[in-house]
Amino acid sequence: MKEGSNILKAAVEAGALTIDNRFCLTGQCDVCCVEMEHGEIIRSCMHAIPSGKSSITVLVVDSDEAWEAMSV
């Protein structure tokens, strides 16, 4: 994927995520949260691949510990 592409779309196209009815695609449900290579957890449906990047590393947040860390 190229810079500016939606991270969620890129993850789906790479086979890292499968969108189902749990995804709101508006940033409200947190199902699409991923951890960026620098440790920040973001909603992938709301972010684009940063400019100047030819590749990025994301980790799918899929554990209770990760969700607890995100809780306020």
| pLDDT number for residue 70 | 53
| pLDDT number for residue 46 | 93
The Cα 41–Cα 67 span in angstroms is 10
The Cα 38–Cα 56 span in angstroms is 10
- What residues of the chain score a pLDDT lower than 50? 72
The Cα 52–Cα 55 span in angstroms is 9
pLDDT per residue as tens digits for the range 23-36 = 888 988 888 888 88
